[in-house]
């Protein structure tokens, strides 16, 4: 099972691919999608869509995991974030892969064991769990964290026969 | 020149197609895209993307005009609106048609002559300008209004040789 984790943002979108084989989690790839800063806004949003499409075409993940967002700093930043996240959800649905959403609290609890952990703590634990030698950018480690969270949740769901429904949080 | 006007919303997205021939504006079609209420959020956003794709494939508009949004009621509603608008922008960019954004003030001024006009006044003027016998839903008349605004602006731009740049507002 290969999962694409995504940390959406209109300026920087982080992504990470995590594979589960024999109860072992491995990082397959991670990186950042950065739309050209001077392009018109709609072209930047489209750049994110194309970036996610390319990653899915290249690696063929079976599912996508993404942070569920309830709030943002202000109305303007939540509008921008909504655009980016909308483009990413469309890319996943267009390819026909399931989308699973987790709250920041669930992701941090799953990875660090503590719901209020800082991004740096999340990165440190992601590096330990996935045995990463490199230090990913924080947007990429957040993306890896949501993929790890989803794979942990799937294991829990299998054990309890209580599967989490796709996109059930909204 | 056929223009697709769009009034984005995650529950209801209005659209309207306006053609300009011999300095005459005609309504070709208008309607609403309503995603299934009980579907997961990401499927509803995808429904909007597919709806806009279908309209573009069927009518072949040369350009899209859409309201530029600076604010919404609150952070939650602006997140939802951002998702819907992101899906629509991706659909236009995917098809390769230019996107032109206008503020609510510009749209109302262009159609009613008064920047603070109510939605009902906009609808009344849209019906007069396009000689519509039917009364469109307010989301559809808002979509027709932004298309009319764009065609009026294009005329102005041609006269002054001062074309509005695509998606220049963000």
The CATH number linked to A27 is 3.30.420.10
Mean pLDDT along residues B160-167: 54
- Backbone φ and ψ for A99, nearest 5 degrees, come out as -115, 130
State percent of chain B over pLDDT 90. Answer: 80
Instruction: With CB atoms and an 8 Å threshold, state whether A79 touches B92.
Output: no
Comparing CB atoms, the residue among B42, B70, B92 nearest residue A42 is: B92
Residue A167 confidence class, pLDDT cut points 50, 70, 90: low
Any chain A CB within 8 A of the CB of B87?
yes
Which two three-digit tokens encode residue A168? 């059930």
Tell me which residue range forms the domain holding A94. Answer: 2-169
Mean pLDDT along residues A24-47: 96
User: Residue B21: in which H helix or E strand, if any?
Assistant: strand B13-21
- Backbone φ and ψ for B102, nearest 5 degrees, come out as -130, 140
Instruction: With CB atoms and an 8 Å threshold, state whether A93 touches B168.
Output: no
Q: Chain A partners of B89 at a C-beta cutoff of 8 Å?
A: 41-42, 45-46, 83, 87
**DSSP labels for B41-66?**
HHHHHHHHHHHHHHHHHHH--SEEEE
Per-chain mean pLDDT for chain B: 91
The SS3 of residue A121 is helix
- Identify whether the C-beta of residue B26 lies closer than 8 Å to the C-beta of residue B17: no
Any chain B CB within 8 A of the CB of A65?
no
| pLDDT number for residue A169 | 44
Comparing CB atoms, the residue among A82, A90, A167 nearest residue B82 is: A82
Residue B157 confidence class, pLDDT cut points 50, 70, 90: low
Q: Is the pLDDT of residue A170 over 70?
A: no
Q: B43-67: buried (b, 16+ CB within 10 Å) or exposed (e) per residue?
A: bbbbbbbbbbbebbeeeebebbbbb
Instruction: With CB atoms and an 8 Å threshold, state whether B45 touches A83.
Output: no
What are the E-state strand segments in chain A? 2-7, 13-21, 24-33, 63-67, 98-102
| pLDDT number for residue B168 | 47
- Identify whether the C-beta of residue B164 lies closer than 8 Å to the C-beta of residue B34: no
Q: Chain B partners of A87 at a C-beta cutoff of 8 Å?
A: 86-87, 89-90
Provide the ipTM.
0.89
Instruction: With CB atoms and an 8 Å threshold, state whether A90 touches B90.
Output: yes
Taking CA atoms, what residue in A is nearest to B46?
Answer: A90
**Domains of chain B: total:** 1
Residue B7 confidence class, pLDDT cut points 50, 70, 90: very high
Q: Is the pLDDT of residue B135 over 60?
A: yes
């Amino acid at each position: 099972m290969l999962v694409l984790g995504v940390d959406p943002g209109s300026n920087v979108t982080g992504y990470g691919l995590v594979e589960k084989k024999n109860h072992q989690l491995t990082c397959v790839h991670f990186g950042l999608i950065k739309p050209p800063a001077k392009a018109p806004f709609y072209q930047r949003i489209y750049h994110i869509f194309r970036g996610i499409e390319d990653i899915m075409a290249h690696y063929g993940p079976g599912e996508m995991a993404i942070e569920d967002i309830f709030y943002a700093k202000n109305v303007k930043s939540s509008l921008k974030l909504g655009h980016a996240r909308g483009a990413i959800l469309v890319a996943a649905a267009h390819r026909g892969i399931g989308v699973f959403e987790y709250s920041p609290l669930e992701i941090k609890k799953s990875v660090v064991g503590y719901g209020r952990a800082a991004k740096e703590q999340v990165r440190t634990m992601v590096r330990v769990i996935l045995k990463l030698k490199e230090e990913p950018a924080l947007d990429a480690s957040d993306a890896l964290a949501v993929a790890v969270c989803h794979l942990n949740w799937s294991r829990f769901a299998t054990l309890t026969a209580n599967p989490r429904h796709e996109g059930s949080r909204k």
